[in-house]
């Protein structure tokens, strides 16, 4: 009787024996405003054939009604509310019958009024939580918190249901089932729509691949092909946002886990073959005794012949893994975890190549073709070190040496083998971004003050300065240009206050912009910045009209109609069409850090860039035409002018028209073409943030008539005397005299005048460009 009989039974578990775990669906918290006459329904569901019951503070199940819809078993308990003496939080438990699976639901009952109301998350008070179900075909939940009258998403655990089932199966996977399982995984991932837009699903797929890599003993071509086809589906350009979100989450290490699984798979390959994925984003090369490889002209691998025999070399080149892997290196600031600002300085600028050799190699040379040839600063030869940052991983340069950077090819030499790439500086370090911000904000402040002064001066001199149609239209254009820029700058300041900038708010962990308020600010910025350009176009067309069509006449009403149609009508049409085309797909504005038009997803920014640069180009042509006309007439009508005077006139015209018509915005093209040129960025930020100051100086203060009125002097207009003379650039001889006084001398000279044709509806006096 003292002997103990031991009995053990073993058998293989196959896929059909694996039952899906119960998935309970119920709300974590239900917020109730007291008093409420009707009972509060508590619903709990689970997939068939499982069943659930409700419990509260005892082992006795509550009396609840049963509902079924064929695939789910649901139980609803009607909780009666008693008299509200104060806030209470009763907790109920939904438990699966015969299984230890449960889920709690808390009622938050209070007399306090709701501050958050939403069709998805329901009602709630400040600080309360609420959850909602995932979209159809997914399991998990979304939890939000009531903050300042809005529900803010805190946690999203939604995963596509079929991927979740495969995750459960991968946890008990047997070696002999691996080939069929990886093939099924590849097929399922391929047919799932928008899998790249689901960060949680991507993370789950990576976890499945890790489970497969751990179980697998040897990897043949069919298995590796299925694995790489699965990876190929989740590392494309359309997955960029999902990987950015995953890399910003300190509690998620999907990118490093993916690369680790690939290294584990590559070490277990048992045959020689090559493979290219469907999209061409992955290239695998498994060979023996080959020490030189040109990997699709993107990476050249050179391993010196060390005399080893039967050496197997496996290389997997990932051409889009720069989208997947974070750019943090060993000097990364860990405070940036849980933010979308994972590294503002560096960029992965080459394919990532994984190298596995079944011998110890101490010398390997890699030559990378740059992905972005405009990046030329600070190339770093790096490998992925899985042990950095508490095993989260990061790029490390230990054991790797930079050799050269020639002809858009960076060459490195390393003394070990793993996963390699290169990091390069984007040319815009944090300190430089802060400098640009300072220049911009100071410039905008000066611009705002200048525009207000400009509008005050224009209002003061309006009657005295607009006595003919040309002068009238010139000042209408100037006032509307100043007014549009003033409103646009105010919207810019509002937008900057709405968005959180990492340079200004490093303690923040979320730089996503509020969509509604940011979209409104962006719309008006877009509208009025465009209006600035179109009113500049009106000014340019007016100058062209008065220079080329000297004897033509157009009434003030017609000129005003054309001016306002161009100045405000065209920008309004462009702005509205941009919103209608991009807002429904959530691609109207940038997602984070700034309120402005989107570029990466929808290229909405082109709705500003194309019209603006087109107007700049048109005004350049106008300047050339005007200068050509001036030179011809200047030489023909005043042959005794010397060359110096001609150069002064040309110089003055260009100096006035360039900032006034926004030609300095052409510098923006330079910043787009050469993003690393710091000087170009500074000049562009400086000149464009001071547009209001330029308008005040060149549009108002350098006008001799305005200065005369402000000095309480009555300007005298003469067509033949030398008392007050005008240039065809729009500045009278008073301005010229100011220029000559800088040279210490003063000369009288005859200047060409343009007269306006007289008809029955206009004043008979000729008008010169001193009024323009």
**304-to-266, 301, 359, 670 alpha-carbon distances in Å:** 21, 10, 13, 44
Class of 161-427 in CATH: mainly beta
What angle, 0 to 180 degrees and rounded to 10, lies between the N-to-C axes of helices 515-548 and 556-564?
140
- Under 8 Å between Cβ of 629 and 547: yes
Looking at residue 515, what is its pLDDT? 80
Give 236's pLDDT tier (boundaries 50, 70, 90): very high
Average confidence (pLDDT) over 643-647? 36
Which pLDDT does position 739 carry in this prediction?
35
Is the pLDDT confidence value at 535 over 70? Answer: yes
CATH homologous superfamily for the domain 431-771:
Rhodopsin 7-helix transmembrane proteins (1.20.1070.10)
For residue 494, count CB atoms less than 10 angstroms from its CB and return exposed for 0-12, middle for 13-18, buried for 19 or more: middle
Which pLDDT does position 720 carry in this prediction? 38
Predicted local confidence at residue 350, as pLDDT = 92
Stronger pLDDT, 514 or 188, i.e. the higher one: 188
CA separation for the pair 619, 625 (Å, rounded):
10
**572 pLDDT higher than 60:** yes
With b for 16 or more beta-carbon neighbours within 10 A and e for fewer, the 608-645 pattern comes to bbebbbebbebbbebbeebbebbeebbeeeeeebeeeb
For residue 1, pLDDT beyond 50: no
Residue 491 and residue 497: Cα distance in Å, rounded?
10
Q: Residue 716: what are its φ and ψ, rounded to 5°?
A: -110, 125
Question: How much is the pLDDT for 605?
Answer: 83
Q: What is the pLDDT of residues 114-165, one digit of tens each?
A: 899 888 888 899 988 888 888 888 888 899 999 988 899 888 899 998 999 9
pLDDT digits 0-9 by tens, 404-463: 988 889 999 999 888 888 877 665 556 667 777 788 788 888 889 999 999 999 899 888
Residue-level pLDDT at 409:
92
Q: Which of 290-299, 400-409, 612-621 has the lowest mean pLDDT?
A: 290-299
Find how far residue 682's CA is from the centre of its chain. Answer: 21
Domain ranges of the chain: 15-112, 161-427, 431-771
B/e letters for 303-319, b = 16+ CB within 10 Å, e = fewer, are: beeeeeeebbbbbbbbb
CATH topology of domain 15-112: Immunoglobulin-like (2.60.40)
pTM here is 0.62
Lowest mean pLDDT among 99-108, 255-264, 701-710, 721-730: 721-730
Quick check: 63 and 77 in contact, CB under 8 A?
Answer: yes
- Considering only CA atoms, which of 635, 600, 664 is closest in space to residue 752? 635
Lookup: tokens for 386: 């899985």
The confidence score (pLDDT) of residue 486 equals 92
Average pLDDT over residues 80-86: 72
Q: Cβ of 358: how many Cβ atoms within 10 Å?
A: 13
Residue 589 is encoded by which pair of tokens?
């504005």
Give residue 233's pLDDT band: very low, low, confident or very high (50, 70, 90): very high
Give the list of residues 6+ apart from residue 505 with CB closer than 8 angstroms, or none: 511
Highest mean pLDDT among 40-49, 643-652, 741-750: 40-49
CB 598 within 8 A of CB 586: no
Residue 214 — pLDDT band, cuts 50, 70, 90? very high
Q: Spell out the residues 6+ positions from residue 187 whose beta carbon is closer than 8 angstroms to its own.
A: none
Residue 15 is predicted with a pLDDT of: 47
**Locus of tokens 């009995």:** 7
Pairing of strands 122-124, 116-118: antiparallel
Measured distance between the N- and C-terminal CA atoms of the chain, rounded to whole angstroms: 119
Confidence bin at 284 (pLDDT 50/70/90) = very high
* CA-closest candidate to residue 341, choices 504, 497, 157, 204: 504
Least confident segment among 233-237, 297-301, 392-396, 559-563: 297-301
Which secondary-structure segment (H or E) carries 424?
Answer: strand 419-425
Question: Which token pair is 17?
Answer: 């024996």
pLDDT in tens, 689-726: 778 888 888 778 877 778 888 886 544 443 333 333 33
pLDDT at 484 over 50: yes
Residue-wise pLDDT tens digits, 348-372: 999 999 998 888 888 889 999 998 8
Instruction: Name the pLDDT band for 400 (thresholds 50, 70, 90).
Output: very high
């Amino acid at each position: 009787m003292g002997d103990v009989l031991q009995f053990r039974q073993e058998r293989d578990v196959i896929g059909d024996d694996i039952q899906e775990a119960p998935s309970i669906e119920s709300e974590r918290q239900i917020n109730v405003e007291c008093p409420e006459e009707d009972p509060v329904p508590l619903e709990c569901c689970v997939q068939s054939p499982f069943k659930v019951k409700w419990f509260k503070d005892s082992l006795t199940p509550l009396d609840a009604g049963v509902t079924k819809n064929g695939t789910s078993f649901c139980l609803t308990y009607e909780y009666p509310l008693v008299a509200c003496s104060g806030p209470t939080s009763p907790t109920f438990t939904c438990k699966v019958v015969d299984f230890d699976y449960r889920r709690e639901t808390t009622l938050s009952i209070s007399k306090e009024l709701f501050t958050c109301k939403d069709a998805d998350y329901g009602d709630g008070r400040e600080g309360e939580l609420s959850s909602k179900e995932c979209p159809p075909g997914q399991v998990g939940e979304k939890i939000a918190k009531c903050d300042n009258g809005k529900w803010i998403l805190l946690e999203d655990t939604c995963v596509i249901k079929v991927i979740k089932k495969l995750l459960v199966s991968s946890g008990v996977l047997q070696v002999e089932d691996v080939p069929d399982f990886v093939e099924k995984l590849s097929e399922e991932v391929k047919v799932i729509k928008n899998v790249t837009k689901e960060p949680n699903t991507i993370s789950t797929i990576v976890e499945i691949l890790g489970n497969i890599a751990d179980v697998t003993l040897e990897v043949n071509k069919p298995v590796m092909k299925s694995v790489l086809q699965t990876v190929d589906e989740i590392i494309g350009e359309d997955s960029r946002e999902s990987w950015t979100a995953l890399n910003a989450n300190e509690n998620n290490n999907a990118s490093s886990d993916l690369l680790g699984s690939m290294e584990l798979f590559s070490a277990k390959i048992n045959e020689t073959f090559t493979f290219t994925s469907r999209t061409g984003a992955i290239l695998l090369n498994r060979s023996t005794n080959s020490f030189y490889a040109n990997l699709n002209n993107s990476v050249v691998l050179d391993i010196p012949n060390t005399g080893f025999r039967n050496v197997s070399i496996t290389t997997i080149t990932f051409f889009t893994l720069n989208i997947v892997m974070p750019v943090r290196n060993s000097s990364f600031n860990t405070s940036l975890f849980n933010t979308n600002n994972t590294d503002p300085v560096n960029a992965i600028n080459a394919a990532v190549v994984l190298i596995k050799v079944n011998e110890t190699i101490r010398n390997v040379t890699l030559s990378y073709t740059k992905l972005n040839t405009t990046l030329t600063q600070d190339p770093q030869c790096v490998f992925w070190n899985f042990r950095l940052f508490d095993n989260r991983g990061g790029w490390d340069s230990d054991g790797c040496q930079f050799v050269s950077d020639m002809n858009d090819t960076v060459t490195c030499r390393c003394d070990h083998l793993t996963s390699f790439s290169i990091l390069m500086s984007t040319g815009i370090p944090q300190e430089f971004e802060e400098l640009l911000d300072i220049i911009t904000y100071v410039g905008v402040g000066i611009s705002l003050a200048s525009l207000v002064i400009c509008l005050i001066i224009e209002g003061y001199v309006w009657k005295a300065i607009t006595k003919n149609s040309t002068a009238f239209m010139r000042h209408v254009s100037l006032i509307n240009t100043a007014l549009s820029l003033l409103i646009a700058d105010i919207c810019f300041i509002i937008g900057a206050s709405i968005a959180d900038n990492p340079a200004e708010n490093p303690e923040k962990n979320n730089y996503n912009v509020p969509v509604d308020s940011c979209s409104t600010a962006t719309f008006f910025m877009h509208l009025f910045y465009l209006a600035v350009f179109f009113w500049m176009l009106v000014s340019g067309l007016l100058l062209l009209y008065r220079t080329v069509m000297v004897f033509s006449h157009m009434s003030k009403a017609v000129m005003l109609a054309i001016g306002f149609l161009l100045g405000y009508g065209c920008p309004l049409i462009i702005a509205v069409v941009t919103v209608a085309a991009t807002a429904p797909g959530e691609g109207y504005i940038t997602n984070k850090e700034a309120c402005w038009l989107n570029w990466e997803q929808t290229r909405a920014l082109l709705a500003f860039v194309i019209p603006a640069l087109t107007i700049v180009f048109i005004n350049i042509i106008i300047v050339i035409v005007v200068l050509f006309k001036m030179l011809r007439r200047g030489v023909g009508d005043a042959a005794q002018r010397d060359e110096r005077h001609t150069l002064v006139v040309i110089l003055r015209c260009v100096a006035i028209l360039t900032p006034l018509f926004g030609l300095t915005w052409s510098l923006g093209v330079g910043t787009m073409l050469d993003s690393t040129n710091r000087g170009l960025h500074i000049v562009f930020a400086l000149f464009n943030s001071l547009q209001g100051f330029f308008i005040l100086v060149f549009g108002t203060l350098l006008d001799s008539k305005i200065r005369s009125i402000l000095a309480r002097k009555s300007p005298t207009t003469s067509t033949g005397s030398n008392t007050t003379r005008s240039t065809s650039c729009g500045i009278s001889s008073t301005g010229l005299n100011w220029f000559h006084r800088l040279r210490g001398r003063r000369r009288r000279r005859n200047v060409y005048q343009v007269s306006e044709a007289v008809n029955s509806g206009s004043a008979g006096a000729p008008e010169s460009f001193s009024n323009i």
